[in-house]
Structure formats: structure tokens, C-alpha cells
Amino acid sequence: MPRFWKKGERAGQPLRIFYASDFHGSDTTFRKFVNAGQFYHADVLICGGDLMGKTVVPVVADGRGSRFAYLHGQRQEFSSREEIASFRTALGKSGAYTVECEPDEYEILSKDSGEVEKLFNKLAIERLQSWIGFAQERLTGSSTRCFLGGGNDDTEEFLAQLADMPGDNLVYSESGVHPLDDRHVVVTVGYSSPTPWNTPREKTEEEIEAAIAAVTAEVPDLSSAIFNFHVPPIDSTLDRCIKLDATVWPPAPMMDRGQPVYFGAGSQAVRRAIEGMQPVAGLHGHIHESRGVVKLGETMSFNAGSEYGEGILRGLIVAVRDSRVAGYQFTSG
């Protein structure tokens, strides 16, 4: 039978990367991410940041043996431990943190936003630690390595938990350069350009440019680097989202003739870095709805998207061979 491709081109198995980001506290999504290594036969797992959740929901004792909680403004009542457990598990899947508290504790939380923030950080760190435990248990003994970086929603205190992860399989990759195999490295920068939400790790374009310059200075051969930059390049179609009015709180979608106004919310600095340095690939998240792929010069840049709220893992498999993207596949499930 004749062959329709060059003989020998198949030599050497590609490095298979599974990338996903923006889990925002979702238990299910993170667990799927860790399991994706074995499921997709990936050599490395790369997380593009935004591990931290967004909300905390108190489950309050009502003084009569039952508990209640407010979810999306609606009061929900629970009369048994099973109902409470089921509620907390469901919220954990979607990324929210829950805590059982007494009426007086709830009263304090209702009045003091500082207390809410303290509680939120505590719960976020607890969940992150449980994730680290889960990942360690699953990956220990396997050859899969998992690189966890930060995003704009992750606080420095939260990310500090990743600095001392046990074992060899888990690597904290934020603002660093790490080898993926004997040829390719991953370069991680998790900052984002300013957003209307005023999140913890937003930087100006100049600061992002400086951060990229500092970390890429350590890379001997940029043509073998994979950029794991949380924010996508500006106006690349990977950053298209609804423009929000930051003059109101919470920021509201801007409308024009009854239709939402879309714009590119990416970073100039990231675009300049990719176009100038031409790495193998750019891996991005941040704009959940702009999943896609685009070629900037010779570099293929991806946004894997996110659907963490539904417990759906949106991911991306990139097969890299000889400093080239040999193939890629978006995944969802």
C-alpha cells in the first residue's frame, strides 16, 4: 500500500501537554484537571492560574435545629445533615466556598466585610490544600508533572501555599522558567492587565512587560519556550469579551442599540512578547468565553476557555515536537 506521508516523520514521540485554567475554586474541575494527565496520556499538566474561588456562602443555624443559606438571593432551608452536605458539595463543584456558622457569627459577617475577606481567604487556602493533597495522591508514582501558576484572581497569600508543595510531581511555576523535557521549557506569568473587578494581581502594561522581560531573560532558547501567560494577547480574538461599565458596582455590561458591546480585553505586553520572541506556543486563559486558537507570526496561541461554574473542564492538549506544535486538541467535559 502506498504511503501518503514522508517516512520517518513520525520519529520521536511528541511532548504532550494538557493545559487548563480558571478553575475558580471548582472542586470538580480541578479533580478532572489532575485526572486529565492519565486520561489523555499527557506528559505534563499546566494550569494557567485563577485557582481561587469568587464567593463564600454561609450555611446558618436558625436556632430551631435547621439551617438556611442564601444562594443567588434565594433562601434555601435544610433540615438534615444530608441536605447540608449535598448543598455544600454542589457549591464546591461550582467553585463557591461554604461554611456552617451560628446566627451571631453570621451577624458579624453581614456587617463586617473585613471578616468576610478573612473567612474567604481561609476557606480558599483550605480548599487549595485539599487540592494539593488530591494531586499528590494521584500523581505520585506517575511520570506526569503538574505545573501550577497563578492568575489575576489569586492573592499572593493564596499562591504562597503552592511554593512548598510536597513531592516531585507538583511544581509551582509562577514567574519562573521550568523544563518540560530536555528541549522545551514553560515560562509562566500570571498577571493580568487592569480589569473592572479590581482583582489582586492586576498590573499595568509596563509592569507586565517588565515581568515578562525578567522571566524570559532566564530562557536560553526562546524558540523552544512555551509561554504560560494568564492574560491573552490583546485583539487576538482570544480576548474578546463584553465591555463592562466600571463606573457602577458591580460593573455592568455596556450596551449599544440593545446589543452588548464587545472588545479585546487582552494585554499589549503579552502580544508584543509573543510577536517579538516567537515561542513555540502561547497558553492563555482569563477570558472564559473566548476559547480559541490564533497564529501570531509563527507562534500558535491558545485560550482554553473555562466553564468552571458547571463543573466542566475546558482544556487543551498540545503535542509539541522539535519546538513545533505538531497537533492540538480542545477538550471539554
Partner 1 sequence: MYFGYLSAAGLYGVTLFFFFGPGAFPGGSILVAILLNLLIGIGIFGAYSMLGSAMPRSGADYVYQSRLLSPALGFTATFAGLAFWQFFFAFLAASTIISGGLVPLFSGIGAITGTHGWISAANWLAGSHVSLAFTVVFLLISAVIMVRGMRLYLGIQKYFMIAFTALAVLLIAIGWLAVSHSTFISHFNKFEHAVGGLSASQVVGKAAALGYHQHIPFSWGNTLALTALLGIGSYLSCMWQTELLGEMKSARNLGRLFASMMGAAVMLTVTYLVAFVWTYAYVGQPLMGSFSFLAFGHAGVLGGGWAFRGVQSFFLIPFLNVFLAILIFLGFLGPISQSMFNTTLASSRIYLSQSFDRVLPAWMGQVNKRGAPANAIWFGTVISIVLAVIFLFHPALTEVLAAGYMFLTLSLIWSLLAAIVFPYRMKETYEASPASRFKVGNIPLISILGAIGFAFMVFTIVEFLTQSAFGILAGTAVVSWVTAAVLAVATLVYYYVISAIRKRAGIDLRWAFRTVPPE
Residues in contact with partner 1 by CB under 8 A are 5, 9-10, 13-14, 16, 27-28, 31-33, 35-36, 39-40, 93, 235, 237, 240, 256-260, 262, 264, 291-294, 310-313, 317, 319, 321, 326-333
Query: What is the distance between the alpha carbons of residues 53 and 127, in angstroms, rounded to a whole number?
Result: 9
CB of 131 to partner 1, least distance (A): 12
Write the single-letter amino acid at 316: L
Nearer to partner 1, 211 or 238 (CB): 238
Nearer to partner 1, 106 or 330 (CB): 330
Q: Which residues of 268-281 are buried (b: 16+ CB within 10 A; e: fewer)?
A: bbbbbbbeebebbb
Nearer to partner 1, 211 or 293 (CB): 293
Query: What is the distance between the alpha carbons of residues 148 and 48, in angstroms, rounded to a whole number?
Result: 7
Query: Helices marked H in the chain — which ranges?
Result: 27-39, 81-94, 103-111, 113-139, 156-160, 205-216, 268-277
- The widest CA-to-CA distance across the chain, in whole angstroms, is 79
CB of 54 to partner 1, least distance (A): 17
Nearer to partner 1, 58 or 95 (CB): 95
Bridge partners of residue 296, in order along the sequence:
299
Nearer to partner 1, 109 or 313 (CB): 313
Query: What is the distance between the alpha carbons of residues 36 and 41, in angstroms, rounded to a whole number?
Result: 8
Q: How many CB atoms within 10 Å of residue 233?
A: 28
CB of 302 to partner 1, least distance (A): 11
Query: What is the distance between the alpha carbons of residues 169 and 241, in angstroms, rounded to a whole number?
Result: 35
Query: What is the distance between the alpha carbons of residues 34 and 36, in angstroms, rounded to a whole number?
Result: 5
Taking phi over 0 as left and psi of -120 to 50 as alpha, with beta for the rest, 8 belongs to left
Nearer to partner 1, 150 or 285 (CB): 285
Query: What is the distance between the alpha carbons of residues 147 and 48, in angstroms, rounded to a whole number?
Result: 9
Question: Grid coordinates 509561554 are at which residue?
Answer: 227
CB of 106 to partner 1, least distance (A): 28
CB of 312 to partner 1, least distance (A): 7
Nearer to partner 1, 79 or 329 (CB): 329
CB of 185 to partner 1, least distance (A): 19
Nearer to partner 1, 76 or 155 (CB): 76
Query: Helices marked H in 98-204 — which ranges?
Result: 103-111, 113-139, 156-160
SS3 of 83, please?
Answer: helix
Nearer to partner 1, 184 or 291 (CB): 291
Query: What is the distance between the alpha carbons of residues 46 and 165, in angstroms, rounded to a whole number?
Result: 15
CB of 308 to partner 1, least distance (A): 12
CB of 287 to partner 1, least distance (A): 12
Triad 59, 63, 64: Cα angle to 5° = 105
CB of 181 to partner 1, least distance (A): 13
